[in-house]
Structure 1
Amino acid sequence: MTKSKHFDDITIQPYDTQYREALAQFALSERQRIYSSLPLEVLDDAIEDENRVPNVVLNTQQEVIGFFVLHKHYQHEGYDTPNEVVYVRSLSVNERYQGHGYGTKMMMVLPQYVQEVFPDFNHLYLVVDAENAAAWNVYERAGFMHAATKEEGPIGKERLYYLDLDAKYVSSLKLQYNDDSTVGTIDIVDLMLNGTKAGFIALEQFDERLIIRSVYVFEAYQAAGVAQNALRQLATYVRKQFQGVKVIEVTLFGQNHQLKPLFEKSNFVETLTTEDYCTFEKYINY
C-alpha cells in the first residue's frame, strides 16, 4: 500500500511511474540549479538503490509541485553522522509553483512523513549550501537544528541540519508577536499551537544582543516538545522581526538549572560558567 501524508493542500507520497512525465517537465531557475539537481537527474539511481526512496509532492489538482529523495544509511562526505540515519536529498519545488508556500508546507510535514516511510529510524539530516539562506530559514522554521558547518563543500560553505525524529516536535507551532507587550523594554512572543496559545518567550534587546528573559510553556503542553521547537525556530524569527540583532543570549542561575538541557539541545553554546550561573549564546547570522 502506498504511504502518503496529507497536509493542508499538499500530499507527499513515494514516486510512481505515472509521475515520470510530470518530472520530465519539472523546472528550476538557473540559480536554483546551482543548489539542487532536477528530479530526472537523480530518479533512476534512487529507484535502483534499495536504500533510497524518491518522493513526489502533489497539490489538490494532483499536479507534481515538489520532489525529494530519502536516503537511509547515507553518509555525507565531511560529516560524522550515525549509521541509522535518513538524509533528505535533492529537495526542490517546481519553479512553476514557487511563491505559494509549498516549500514550507513540505518541510513542516516531512518529519511525520519520514516516520511513516522509515519507522525504525530516528535521525533525519539534510545538507544545504550556506549562501542559500532562503532554504535554511525554512528548515529552521520546521524545527531542524544547525548541527555543523563545512567550509569547503562542492560550491562553497555548506551547513548540516538535524532533526531527532524520536522527539515530540510540534511542526504546527508558530511564533507570534504579542501586540500587548509594548510597555517597557520586554517583548513577548506567543507560542501558538494550532491557533491556541501554549506559552511564551520574553525577550529584551540591547543593541546587537537579544536576551531571553523567560521561556514558559503552559502545563498542558509541557510534554509536547513546544519549548524546544520554539527555541529552534527563534533564530529565524529574530532575523525577520528584530533589526540589528546578531546574538541571542540567556543566563541560567544555579549549577543544575532545569532548562540547561533544553538550550543545549536547541543548538545554544555555553559561553560562560561560574559556580552561580551559566550563559548560553546562539549567533543568528552565519
Structure 2
Amino acid sequence: MSSRSHLRFYAEEDFEALQRFELPSEQVVFTALPDEALEAAAQDPNRYPVVILSVEGEAVGFFVLHLNAEITSLVDNPRAIILRALSVDFRQQGKGYAKAAMLQLPAFVGEYFPEVDEIVLAVNARNFAAQRLYLQIGFEDRGLTRMGPMGMQHIYHFKVERTG
C-alpha cells in the first residue's frame, strides 16, 4: 500500500495545491488546514511541513513534524518528534493515502531526523477515524491524555526503530 504515495518536505510549488484542500466541518474541528499549519511553521523553525504526494505527484495530504514541542514534556522524551495537523484533501479521502503515509512515516523520520527515537501525537477523543488509523498502523495508546482546544486528547506513541 505504501507505494500509493510518497512523502517529501513541503516546497513552494505545493502552495497552490494545498490552498485548494477541502475538509468537511466535522473534520476541520480536529485538525488544521495546510495554510494554517504552514503559517505556524513559518514562525517556528522546529516545525517541518510534509506533503503526501500521490504516485502521479499530486499533493493529496499534509502534516507537520514538530521538534522541541510543548508536548514532549508530557511524554518525558526530549528525543520525540510530534506529528500534527494531518489531513487528506476531502476529494482524496478513502483511497488509502493517510494509511500509506503513516506506514512510511517511521522510515521518513529515521532518515531525516536521526536523533529522534519516538513519534508522538495527540488525537481528539471524539476523532474515532483518526484513532483507528493510528492504532492500526502501530501507534500505542499508553493511557496518557491531556485537555486540548477541542476537548480531551489521547497521546499516542510510536517507537522509531533503528536499523544497522
User: Under a length normalisation based on structure 2, what TM-score does the superposition of the two structures give?
Assistant: 0.91
| C-alpha distance after superposition, 1:142-197 (max 9, x if no partner) | 111002342632222210000110367xxxxxxxxxxxxxxxxxxxxxxxxxxxxx
| C-alpha distance after superposition, 1:24-54 (max 9, x if no partner) | 1011110000100100012032134221110
Structure 2 counterparts to residues 37-52 of structure 1, below 5 A: 37-52=32-47
The one-letter amino acid paired with 2:44 is D
The one-letter amino acid paired with 1:79 is L
The one-letter amino acid paired with 2:122 is V
Q: How far 1:80 moved relative to its partner?
A: 3.7
The one-letter amino acid paired with 1:25 is R
Which structure: greater helix fraction? 2
Structure 2 regions of 5+ residues with no counterpart?
none
Residue aligning to 1:14: 9
In the alignment, is residue 148 of structure 1 matched against residue 143 of structure 2? yes
- More displaced, 99-108 or 16-25? 99-108
Q: How many residues align?
A: 163
Q: Which runs of 4+ in 1 moved over 6 A?
A: none
User: Under a length normalisation based on structure 1, what TM-score does the superposition of the two structures give?
Assistant: 0.54
Q: Mark the CA change 1:16 to 1:149 in structure 2 (over 3 Å): closer, same or farther.
A: same
| Identity score, percent | 33
Whole-Å separation in 2 of the counterparts to 1:51 and 1:75: 11
Higher relative contact order at CA 8 Å, sep ≥6: structure 1 or structure 2?
2
Residue aligning to 1:55: 50
The one-letter amino acid paired with 1:9 is R
In the alignment, is residue 100 of structure 1 matched against residue 95 of structure 2? yes
Q: Mark the CA change 1:157 to 1:50 in structure 2 (over 3 Å): closer, same or farther.
A: same
Q: Is the 8 A contact 1:47 1:54 kept in 2?
A: no
Q: Pairwise CA RMSD of aligned residues?
A: 1.9
Q: 1:86 aligns with which of 81, 87, 94?
A: 81
Residue aligning to 2:107: 112
Which structure: greater strand fraction? 1
Q: How far 1:100 moved relative to its partner?
A: 0.9
Q: Mark the structure with the bigger radius of gyration.
A: 1
Structure 1 regions of 5+ residues with no counterpart?
1-5, 169-286
Whole-Å separation in 1 of the counterparts to 2:43 and 2:12: 13
Q: Mark the CA change 1:19 to 1:81 in structure 2 (over 3 Å): closer, same or farther.
A: same
